[in-house]
Structure 1
Amino acid sequence: MSTSDIRLVVLDMAGTTVADDGLVEQAFNAAATALGVQPGSPEHEPMLAHVRATMGESKISVFRHLFGEEEKAQQANAAFEQAYDELVTAGYCAPLPGAAEAIAELRASGRKVVLTTGFSRATQDRILGALGWEQIADLTLCPADAGRGRPYPDMALTALLRTGTDSVRQMAVVGDTGYDMLTGTRAGASVVAGVLTGAHGAERLRTDGATHVLGSIAELPGVLGAL
Structure 2
Amino acid sequence: MVQAVLSDIDGTLVQSNWLHASAWQDAFSVGGIDLDVEVIRRQIGKGGDELIPVFVPYWRRRILEEPLKAYRKFVFQQDYLEKVEAFPCTRELFHRMKKSGIKIALSSSANKDELETYKAIARVSDLVDISTTADDVDRSKPHPDIFETALRRLGAKPASVLALGDTPWDAEAAGRAGVRTIGVTTGGWSQQELYDAGCIEVYKDVSDLLSNFDHSAFVTLS
Q: What TM-score results when the alignment is normalised by the length of structure 1? A: 0.85
Q: List gaps (5 residues or longer) in structure 2.
A: none
Query: Could you say what secondary structure the match of 2:163 adopts?
Result: strand
Q: Residues 217 and 200 (structure 1 numbering): CA distance in 2 closer, same or farther, change over 3 Å?
A: same
Check conservation: 1:81, 1:123, Cα contact below 8 A: no
Deviation digits for residues 178-197 of structure 1, max 9, x if unmatched?
A: 111111211112x3111111
Match of 2:202 in 1: 213
Q: 1:157 aligns with which of 148, 156, 159?
A: 148
Query: Could you say what secondary structure the match of 2:202 adopts?
Result: strand
Check conservation: 1:88, 1:127, Cα contact below 8 A: no
Query: Could you say what secondary structure the match of 2:83 adopts?
Result: coil
Counterpart amino acid of residue 203 in structure 1: Q
Check conservation: 1:88, 1:126, Cα contact below 8 A: no
Q: Distance in 1 between matches of 2:38 and 2:145?
A: 26
Please state if 1:74 is matched with 2:66: yes
Check conservation: 1:156, 1:187, Cα contact below 8 A: yes
Check conservation: 1:6, 1:111, Cα contact below 8 A: yes
Q: How far has the Cα of 1:134 moved from its partner?
A: 3.3
Q: How far has the Cα of 1:31 moved from its partner?
A: 0.7
Check conservation: 1:23, 1:87, Cα contact below 8 A: no
Cα RMSD of the aligned pairs, angstroms, is: 2.0
Match of 1:134 in 2: 125
Please state if 1:124 is matched with 2:115: yes
Match of 2:49 in 1: 60
Alignment of structure 1 residues 12-161 onto 2, 5 Å: 12-20=8-16, 22-37=18-33, 43-45=34-36, 48=37, 50-67=39-56, 68=58, 69-87=61-79, 89=81, 91-161=82-152
Check conservation: 1:60, 1:74, Cα contact below 8 A: no
Deviation digits for residues 38-79 of structure 1, max 9, x if unmatched?
A: xxxxx424xx45423322111232123322323301111111
Query: Could you say what secondary structure the match of 2:125 adopts?
Result: coil
Q: List gaps (5 residues or longer) in structure 1.
A: 38-42
Query: Could you say what secondary structure the match of 2:104 adopts?
Result: strand
Counterpart amino acid of residue 182 in structure 1: E
Q: Distance in 2 between matches of 1:139 and 1:125?
A: 12
Q: How far has the Cα of 1:217 moved from its partner?
A: 1.9
Q: Distance in 1 between matches of 2:38 and 2:121?
A: 29
Counterpart amino acid of residue 13 in structure 1: I
More off after superposition, 97-106 vs 79-88: 79-88
Match of 2:176 in 1: 186
Q: How far has the Cα of 1:88 moved from its partner?
A: 5.2
Query: Could you say what secondary structure the match of 1:14 adopts?
Result: coil
Q: Distance in 2 between matches of 1:7 and 1:75?
A: 41
Match of 2:7 in 1: 11
Query: Could you say what secondary structure the match of 2:136 adopts?
Result: helix
Match of 1:40 in 2: none
Counterpart amino acid of residue 26 in structure 1: S
